[in-house]
Structures are given as C-alpha cells and as structure tokens.
C-alpha cells in the first residue's frame, strides 16, 4: 500500500466567481493548486461528471445529455473508479442520485437524501470510516457530492419559474441573494469537511480535488434561469483545486478542461491506462502542475436547450468551442452562431459573427472536427 488516497469533493452548481471571492475557498487556494480557467464539458451534472470520470467527451462516450446516462459505452471507456478498483483501492461514492457518475468500479454507491440528510455530518463520518480502512489494509477513493445548491435551485427556481419568466429575469438582485445564501452554506460545509480532513491527517497522504461541475445562472441571459440551456461562461467555467502532497500551491491561469482531471490523477498515482480502452480526449496536467508548459487545447462543450418545452431534448442542440481568448457557439435549433472575444467581452454580450474576424472560420472548422469525432 504505497499509493495515495483520492478524495473528490464536488460542489454541485458552484460558481467560479463566488469561489474567487470566498474567504473559505481562498484559504484553501493558499495551500493547493488552483486552476482558475477550467471548462466543463456539460453545463449539467450528468454529462459533466461522466466526462470527468471517463476523461472523454460525452459525444464519444454516449453520455451527452440528461437522458443518456445508460448509453455510457462501458466496453470502450473505463472510468477512473475502475482503474482504482483494479489497483486495490476501496471505492465509495455518496451522491444525489443513481445517474450522476458512472457506477462501474464502486464498492459502495450510496444515494443520500438531498432534502433531509445533513451532508456535513454524513461526509465527516465517511471520512472517518475511510481513514480506518486506509490504516488497516488499502488505499481508498472517496467521492463526496455536495448537492444542497442544486436542491435549493431546484426547489426555489426550477419549480417556480420557466426559462423566460419575467418575474425571474427582472429580479437580478433577488437571484444573486438566493444563490449567495446557498453558496454560503457550501462554504460552511467545505470548511468543516476540510477541517476533518486535516484532523485525520488525510491531507498528508491523499490527493484531494475540490471542484464544481458547472455554474448557475442568476439571470444573465434570458432563456436560462438555472443551467443546461446555453454554453455561456457563467455555467461553463468551474473551480478546481488540487491539494497534492509534495507540490507547492500556485494558481494556473491557462485554460484547461475538466476532462483533463482523470489522466492527471492516474499519472499522479502511477496507474497506467488500459491499452484496450479508447483514447482519452483529456490530457495530463502534470507539466502545468510542475510549472512547465503544455499547449492550450480547445475546450468543447454541449448541452440541450429546451426552449419553450418543459424538458430538454434527447440530444444536444447547443455546442461551443473555446480558447482562453475566444469562444464560438453553434445553436443547432435555429442554425445560428455566436462569436465572442472573451478578453474584451467576458460577459459575452457582443456577438462578432459576420464582422470578418478570422477566428470565426478557424473555430468553426475545429468545432466540426470535435462534433464529428465518434467511437
């Protein structure tokens, strides 16, 4: 037993801008490697986290929408959990439902009661139990899903307003306040969880990833009152903190993708990928962590805009490709495009399509390659 443990704490619906202003998360940032420009594949949990666990885009793995969890190609794509299980890790997930991450490889896959369970106390006890297992026989992988932001948005936004509700979009201050209250609860949760981690000295023998899967709208764009309708940065940019024993804390501003986390973790643990599984879309971030350089990769994202329907479509109809400076969005539902210069227009208000920008054609060609890449 010479490998490190792995703990992933996922803050469902955590906005990057709130984490960057948070005393709690900035304190953690001072001890960790903070990726301040990490882009999710899907602005909703199912597609986002299947991509994280497989290191590949859902357009290839089969899990590209709310409806495609059971289409995950388990014979072609191995999850990070399966790799850890094969290397004698005890694997345990505590999640919001049966659909959010691939179940393959987990010794225990437990669904908590998102309305009634005290996740702080529940997850502290799980950490204690994992620590006991680590001391006795083997390493462990613990996946903790903090779902209270999601639950609050579901009950107070998604069940109350539709995507074009004037009551919602005309009350930006109320939306901000509602979200901030939910995020504050997440701060309190994480503060206690990380205190427990340090009390158990798990920060000394574990790789710890603290991340969000996607952001949440507070009314930036009419047509999206929460998440999953568009591919704008307020839902695509996530926060990602790696605490890795032996590595110095620093902020990495280069754009990376959340699909890069799987190959990074496997390399950190010294686990080789299977030669029989499909190639990954993600790449290892070890060179960046070691203060070396790697090329920036295009970030591909997609989702299904329900428009005026009650449920999203079965296949994505909004797709985007992003660099650190530019983003192209293709809305298949009306065959329209959007181009934004993110450095000059971070809120994505000035659509540059048709203005002669050469990046329009460059990104369109690259987006087509990603859309058409299949297994």
Task: Give 307-354 pLDDT, tens digit per residue.
Answer: 999 889 999 999 999 999 999 999 999 999 999 999 999 999 999 999
Low-confidence ranges of the chain (pLDDT < 70): 1-2, 135, 275-277
Q: What is the pTM of this model?
A: 0.97
Cα separation, 330 vs 303, whole angstroms: 11
Q: Which of 301, 266, 300, 260 is nearest to 280 (CA)?
A: 260
Summarize pLDDT for 233-247 with one digit per residue, the tens.
999 999 999 999 999
Q: pLDDT at position 260, please?
A: 98
Question: Are 9 and 202 spatial neighbours (Cβ–Cβ below 8 Å)?
Answer: no
Q: How many CB atoms lie within 10 A of CB 221?
A: 17
Domains annotated on the chain, with CATH: 5-289 (3.40.720.10), 299-372 (3.30.1120.10)
Task: For Cα atoms 127, 237, 343, give the angle at the middle one, nearest 5 degrees.
Answer: 145
């Amino acid at each position: 037993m010479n490998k490190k443990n792995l703990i992933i704490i996922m803050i469902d619906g955590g906005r990057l801008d709130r984490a960057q202003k948070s005393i709690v998360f900035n304190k953690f940032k001072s001890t960790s490697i903070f990726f301040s420009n990490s882009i999710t594949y899907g602005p909703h949990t199912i597609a986002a986290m299947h991509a994280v666990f497989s290191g590949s885009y859902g357009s290839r793995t089969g899990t590209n929408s709310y409806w495609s969890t059971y289409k995950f190609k388990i014979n072609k794509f191995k999850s990070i959990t399966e790799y850890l299980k094969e290397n004698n890790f005890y694997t345990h997930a505590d999640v919001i439902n049966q659909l959010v991450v691939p179940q393959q490889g987990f010794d225990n896959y437990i669904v908590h009661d998102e309305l009634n369970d005290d996740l702080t106390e529940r997850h502290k006890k799980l950490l204690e139990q994992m620590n006991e297992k680590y001391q006795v026989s083997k390493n462990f992988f613990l996946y903790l899903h903090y779902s209270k932001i999601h639950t609050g948005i579901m009950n107070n936004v998604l069940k109350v307003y539709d995507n074009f509700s004037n009551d919602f979009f005309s009350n930006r201050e109320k939306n901000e306040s509602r979200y901030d209250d939910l995020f504050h609860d997440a701060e309190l949760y994480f503060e206690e969880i990380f205190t427990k981690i340090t009390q158990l000295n798990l920060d000394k023998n574990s790789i710890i990833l603290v991340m969000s899967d996607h952001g949440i709208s507070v009314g930036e764009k009419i047509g999206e009152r929460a998440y999953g309708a568009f591919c704008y940065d307020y839902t695509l940019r996530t926060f990602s903190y790696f605490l890795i024993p032996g590595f110095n804390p620093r902020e990495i501003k280069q754009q990376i993708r959340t699909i890069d986390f799987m190959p990074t973790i496997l390399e950190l643990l010294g686990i080789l990928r299977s030669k029989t599984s499909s190639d990954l879309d993600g790449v290892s971030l070890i060179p960046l962590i070691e203060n070396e350089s790697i090329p920036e990769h295009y970030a591909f994202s997609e989702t299904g805009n329900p428009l005026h329907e009650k449920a999203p479509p079965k296949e994505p109809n909004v797709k985007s490709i992003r660099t650190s400076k530019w983003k192209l969005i293709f809305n298949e539902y009306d065959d329209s495009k959007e181009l934004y210069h993110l450095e000059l227009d971070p809120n994505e208000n000035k659509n540059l399509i048709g203005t002669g920008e050469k990046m329009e054609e460059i990104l369109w060609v690259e987006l087509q390659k990603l859309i058409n890449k299949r297994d």
